[in-house]
Amino acid sequence: MSRVKRLGLIVNPLAGIGGPAGLKGSDGEDVQALALERGVRPMSAERAAQTLAALKQNNGLEGLQVLVGPGDMGATSATLAKVEVEVVGTPTPARTSADDTKRVARKMKERGVDLLLFAGGDGTARDIFDAVGPDVPVLGIPSGVKIQSPVFALHPLIAARIAAGHLREKGRPLTHAEVIDLDESSLRNGEVTTCLYGYLLVPEATSGRQGRKSGTPASDTRAQHEIAARIADIADNHLFLIGPGSTTLVVKEALAGGGTLLGVDVIENGRLILADASEQDLLTVLPETGAHVIVSPIGGQGYVLGRGNQQISRLVLERIGYGNLMVIATPGKLASLGGRPLLVDTGDTTLDVRLSGFVRVITGRYDEAIYPLRAASFG
Amino acid sequence: MRHVSDPSRYHQARWDEPLIFELHEPGRRGIVVPQIDPDIQGIVGDVVEALPDHLRRSTPPNLPEISQVEVLRHFLRLSQQNLAGGLVADMGMATSTVKYNPIVHEALVRSPELAALHPYQDERTTQGILEIIYRLETLLCAISGMDRFTFQPRAGSAAIYTNAAIIRAYHESRGEGEKRNEIITTVFSHPSDAACPATAGFRVITLYPEETGYPSVDALKTALSERTAGLMITNPDDTGIFNPRVAEFVRLVHEAGGLCAYDQANANGLIGITRAAEAGFDLCHFNLHKTFSTPHASGGPATGAAGVKAELARFLPTPTVEFDGRRFYLDYERPDSIGKVGAFHGVVPNVLRAYAWIMSLGAEGLREAAQVAVLNNNYLLTKLLDIPGVTAPFAEGEHRIEQVRYSWQQLAEETGIGVDDLARRAADYGIHFFLSHHPFVVPNPATVEPTESYTQADLDTHAAIWARLAEEARTDPDIVRTAPHKTPIHAIDESVFDDPDRWATSWRAYLRKYAEGSDGLPAFL
């Protein structure tokens, strides 16, 4: 007999309070205090309750054990939604912090949740990633000011639907989606800088943020394997320097049986010769000719260079030759860009401009797309 | 006073009707076939034994055994549970436009003059239908500027495949078949413009649009090379936006050594306005069911009419219908032909229907049909954009040709109600609409094409239903999320559509995948 399935819920009670207060984010105690001073009422508990209530209404919680964080970190939402739950973790201070989110998330992981819902924004997604890593199925309920990471459903009700689909049926495809966050301190100084923090495992329907119940007929997972087959077709006697990402990981697995999700790996003739390499490592190992760089855009954002793969620097690209830069992306990932161009931000504006134009993106074994690529500094 | 039906009071028939295989009861009969008279039996012997072994089944077909009343009840109920083409499904079936199907044409195609013909008849006895095939070809040549057409392809995709095969044959004839292995298309073209050349062995390069809604010339230039075999695109794309630089696209592809095929499956907004030949295209195709009034038939039998310029005519499928000034005849002696892509001359009833439609409208009538289709579409566009929550991405503020791909993303962000919810709720008002091909480049898409045959009141009703859907998403999201409530089938689980191990498109496949110890097994098995 299979064990009872468990659903976890963690709410970041302070997520999103910076928005109505005009503070461009909610990270940092001083900002949170300022927002509360300005009379902002946190909404994340109510939005999480909306998801729980919709799940309950559609019998999505039947036969399920629901674990929630204490107080405003989950229990309050459960009370609002009239859902019976087990509270995980000890009571928290009135003003919670990132550490509280991480502490409860780790507990949820220990309890073996089948899906961990979290209500918050990009900052909360970072905390969840820090706590549970890239192997626990999670799904974001959008409640923050910044929702850049494609780990969030479009709306709390859509989160309920995706969660129900994942919990009810086995074999629903899961995929790694990016945890992206703005550097809020630079944002408040009028600059916009984003970072790729890591990858969370989410139901496949999440990353397109379309809220469909299922993946697309030509699902992204299949497209990733097609792309990997294309690379494998030309792999003999080539050295590949492969950047981070879910699609590139499938390529690494196809070529060498594995690699890192977050790192830049070097693969030659079916062997992983360098994992999670630094720029210096790459320069040391690169041959004079015959090397290729493979990168994939960050979902929803479109960065192919300069986010999460800074090791692939100007020096590395010069050595390999700009003509040997290969961009790979599933059609679904390109669609998720909503018509926005691919971006490069190598830190060298001249190089960024030089790389701009149109690139051939490998989208399948026999398919390519012509897609615009722009220097990020040119907006 | 004229009574106008209120869509909010619609309710579809709902029967608890099983599949016909589930009605099976061993021994039940509709009719009992009488035994052969012993006298006759004595003369002819055992008829079954007289058949060659390889023509006889070793086991009888596994058909359901049911009574006449069960058969009649079953199919009547199924017909009542249909959305009904020609009535309500049309306006929302953009890109696949189920357009006006004149019922009077059915009298023509069911007449014994056509229905009793056999394709193997001596051509001296089929001069009438050969003349109609020949004349329709002449008309489509005039409408498109092409020089020859074939009606053999069984649908639009089959016509695109035919054109891809002709492009391949052309390059092979010049000794470049190996080298020229790339077809260029656009992401908003019909997906068959990518899928069919892929089936024909080509690699496919897809162009993505700029803010204008169509790709830039520079994007095309990036795709072009000595490997370019051709360009296969729609214009306007599924967005309803016309690429005004299409002639330049064609010129550049020609300069690179490729051929250009115009997917005019749906030419509703263009007939009598523009022609493929004037933009320089070498090939094109029409779906007779999207542009020339024949029934869509949901996957066939349909007709994709593929046309080519004179230089490519030698590659057309065999046979062609020719006229020597005295009689019509079939030409099978075509050594460069790509061969057959369908049996005989295509779906001849559709050839007759399309011919009748064109002849009854005339040249001016065709042009007016296109103009009214475009007018209706832009009228509906204006009305829909008044509804908060919807946008028409790309080329904002500009007119569209015959259809629009709308985005309900704003409504989804605000309410959590996406287009699949809206689509299910729309069924409660008796209408249907198409979302988009995958992947969704336009988020939360809905594609609508009103065609030329609807009244202003029909368009107003359609827009009013959309306004109601958006209002319900805000005021009563649960009723939308749990829709449909007034149709025979409620929300279904789409997840199996993705999975070859779980989808079942026939009863036999269903039994094979689900009958043996699977936990998803229905109780009756």
pLDDT digits (tens, 9 = 90+) for A119-142: 999 999 999 999 999 999 999 998
The distance of B205 to chain A (nearest Cα, Å) reads 5
pLDDT digits (tens, 9 = 90+) for A302-316: 899 988 888 999 999
| Alpha helices in chain A, H assignment, sequence order | 29-37, 44-57, 75-81, 98-110, 122-132, 156-168, 184-188, 204-207, 220-233, 246-256, 279-285, 314-320, 331-336, 349-355
pLDDT value, residue B353: 96
Q: In whole angstroms, how large is the CA radius of gyration of chain B?
A: 26
pLDDT digits (tens, 9 = 90+) for A27-47: 666 767 766 666 666 789 999
Cβ within 8 Å of residue B147, ≥6 positions away: B141, B307, B308, B309, B310, B313
Instruction: Please name the residue of chain B whose CA is at the shortest distance from the CA of residue A57.
Output: B478
Q: In whole angstroms, how large is the CA radius of gyration of chain A?
A: 21
Collect contacts of A252-261 with beta carbons under 8 A, ≥24 apart. A253/A228, A254/A225, A254/A228, A254/A229, A255/A228, A255/A231, A261/A134, A261/A176, A261/A199
* Mean pLDDT, each 10-residue run in order, chain B (525 residues): 79 90 92 89 88 89 91 94 70 71 93 94 96 98 98 95 98 97 96 96 95 94 98 94 96 98 94 96 95 80 95 97 96 96 92 97 96 96 97 92 94 92 92 86 92 90 95 95 88 72 84 65 40
Q: Cβ contacts (< 8 Å) between B220 and chain A: which residues?
A: 370
pLDDT value, residue A208: 41
What's the order of all strands across the beta sheet hosting A64-68? A86-87, A64-68, A5-11, A115-120, A138-142
Rounded CA-CA distance B7/A240 in Å is: 60
pLDDT > 90: percent of chain A: 52
**B153 DSSP 8-state letter:** S
The distance of B480 to chain A (nearest Cα, Å) reads 12
Closest-CA residue to B93 (of B238, B235, B214, B243): B238
pLDDT value, residue B513: 85
pLDDT value, residue A20: 59
pLDDT > 70: percent of chain A: 85
Q: Cβ contacts (< 8 Å) between A206 and chain B: which residues?
A: none
Rounded CA-CA distance B489/B432 in Å is: 14
Beta strands per DSSP E along B352-423: 404-407
pLDDT value, residue A298: 85
CA distances from B491 to A53, A59, A213, A325, B499 (A): 19, 14, 11, 46, 19
* Between residues B15 and A213, the one the model is more confident about: B15
The distance of A336 to chain B (nearest Cα, Å) reads 7
Choose from A46, A141, A222, A358 for mutation: most chain B CBs within 10 A.
A358
Task: Please check whether residue A147 touches B, CB under 8 A.
Answer: no
Closest-CA residue to A296 (of A279, A278, A288, A308): A308
**A74 DSSP 8-state letter:** B
Q: Are B208 and A213 in contact (CB < 8 Å)?
A: no
Which residue among B218, B420, B444 places its CB closest to the CB of A358?
Answer: B218
Q: Are A370 and B493 in contact (CB < 8 Å)?
A: no
Query: Which one of A185-189, A287-291, B227-231 scores highest in mean pLDDT?
Result: B227-231
Rounded CA-CA distance A105/A117 in Å is: 10
* Between residues A176 and B137, the one the model is more confident about: B137
Q: Are A212 and B394 in contact (CB < 8 Å)?
A: no
Q: Are B497 and A217 in contact (CB < 8 Å)?
A: yes
A230 pLDDT band, cuts 50/70/90, is: very high
When mean pLDDT is compared across A72-76, A210-214, B305-309, the lowest value belongs to: A210-214
> Are the C-beta atoms of residues A209 and A241 closer than 8 Å to each other?
no
Instruction: Please name the residue of chain A whose CA is at the shortest distance from the CA of residue B191.
Output: A218
Q: Cβ contacts (< 8 Å) between A214 and chain B: which residues?
A: 494-495, 497-498
H or E stretch covering B456 = helix B456-475
Choose from B210, B479, B495, B505 for mutation: most chain A CBs within 10 A.
B495
pLDDT value, residue A147: 81
Cβ within 8 Å of residue A6, ≥6 positions away: A64, A65, A66, A67, A111, A112, A113, A114
Task: Please check whether residue B418 touches A, CB under 8 A.
Answer: yes
pLDDT value, residue B340: 95
Q: Cβ contacts (< 8 Å) between A360 and chain B: which residues?
A: 205, 222-223
Instruction: Provide the token pair at B420.
Output: 């699949």
A1 pLDDT band, cuts 50/70/90, is: very low
Q: Are A358 and B205 in contact (CB < 8 Å)?
A: no
> Are the C-beta atoms of residues A329 and A361 closer than 8 Å to each other?
yes
Rounded CA-CA distance A307/A313 in Å is: 11
Q: Are B498 and A217 in contact (CB < 8 Å)?
A: yes
Choose from B217, B440, B472 for mutation: most chain A CBs within 10 A.
B440
pLDDT value, residue B325: 96
Rounded CA-CA distance A250/A44 in Å is: 35
A22 pLDDT band, cuts 50/70/90, is: low
Query: Which one of A88-102, A294-308, B483-497 scores highest in mean pLDDT?
Result: A294-308
Task: Please check whether residue A334 touches B, CB under 8 A.
Answer: yes
pLDDT value, residue B500: 78
Q: Is the pLDDT of residue A67 over 70?
A: yes
pLDDT value, residue A209: 44
List A residues 188-227 in contact with B (Cβ-Cβ < 8 A): 208-219
**Cβ count within 10 A of residue B140:** 26
Total number of residues shown for chain A = 379
* Between residues B316 and A154, the one the model is more confident about: B316
Rounded CA-CA distance B342/B45 in Å is: 39
Residue A202's SS3 state is strand
Rounded CA-CA distance A277/A283 in Å is: 10
> Are the C-beta atoms of residues A44 and A143 closer than 8 Å to each other?
yes
Instruction: Provide the token pair at A41.
Output: 């009422």
